[in-house]
A = this chain, B = another copy of it.
Amino acid sequence: MERVTHWRHLLANSLVANAHVKHSSYFQLATVRKDGGPANRTVVFRGFVDETNTLQFTTDGRSNKIEEIHNNPRGEICWYFTETWEQFRIHGRLDIISSSEAEMSRKSLRDKAWFGLSVRSRLQFLGPAPRLPTLANSPEESKVNPSEGPADAFCLVLLHPREVDYLHLKKNQRIIYSCTSDDENWSQLEVNP
């Protein structure tokens, strides 16, 4: 069981203070491509795993992200809150839960994430593969059975944070949090912005 850390409180406060803005639940996730270059895209935050520091988001098992993460499981989120001028850079290990997951508690996290999506959001996982040339039409919303479990392509991705770099532009404050050997111990250091 991870302890809820100081940065996690700051992030919880930012989420509340920015909740009136739809895009406050979006962040940018950087990974490393197979060819060694960086990749970066917007992702929707799907909450923490229970009371831990682990962040959740979803992705399509047919997207480039999956191969990139298998090859190099490190990720860095950049989450900028436009209303409060705060930035969280969250670096850690990415962990994919796909349709082939065997472990029960992980399968159930994936199921829960699926049923947490709107029917409209589920559609993209039933449509044609991302990044392939546009040929087919997307399936219609009315074709989705709301009680049906996750589509094969649906993946839940977890980020287990190891470092957090917090910047508060209005206060001109920057704090770097580092996780030592295990998830229980975080150190923090105030640095120049």
- A residues in contact (CB < 8 Å) with B: 21-23, 26, 28-32, 36-42, 72, 74-78, 80, 82, 87, 89, 91, 124, 127-134, 136, 138, 172, 174, 176, 189-193
Query: Residue among A21, A29, A32, A138 with the most chain B CB within 10 A?
Result: A32
Find out whether the CB atom of B82 lies under 8 angstroms from the CB atom of A192: no
Q: Give chain B residues whose Cβ lies under 8 Å from the Cβ of A76.
A: 30, 37-40
Find out whether the CB atom of B127 lies under 8 angstroms from the CB atom of A192: yes
For the complex, give the distance between the alpha carbons of A82 and B40 in Å: 17
Find out whether the CB atom of A130 lies under 8 angstroms from the CB atom of B38: no
Find out whether the CB atom of A37 lies under 8 angstroms from the CB atom of B89: no
Given contacts A76-B30, A80-B28, contact A37 B91 (CB under 8 A): yes
Q: Give chain B residues whose Cβ lies under 8 Å from the Cβ of A134.
A: 174, 190-192
Nearest to A74 among chain B residues (CB) is B37
Q: Give chain B residues whose Cβ lies under 8 Å from the Cβ of A136.
A: 192
Nearest to A127 among chain B residues (CB) is B192
Q: Would you give the shortest CB distance from A64 to chain B, in whole angstroms? A: 10
Q: Give chain B residues whose Cβ lies under 8 Å from the Cβ of A130.
A: 174, 191-193
For the complex, give the distance between the alpha carbons of A96 and B192 in Å: 22
Q: Would you give the shortest CB distance from A161 to chain B, in whole angstroms? A: 13
Q: Would you give the shortest CB distance from A95 to chain B, in whole angstroms? A: 15
Q: Give chain B residues whose Cβ lies under 8 Å from the Cβ of A28.
A: 28, 30, 40, 78, 80
- 9 nearest A-B pairs in the assembled complex, by CB-CB distance: A30-B30, A30-B40, A30-B38, A28-B28, A40-B78, A37-B74, A23-B82, A40-B76, A28-B78
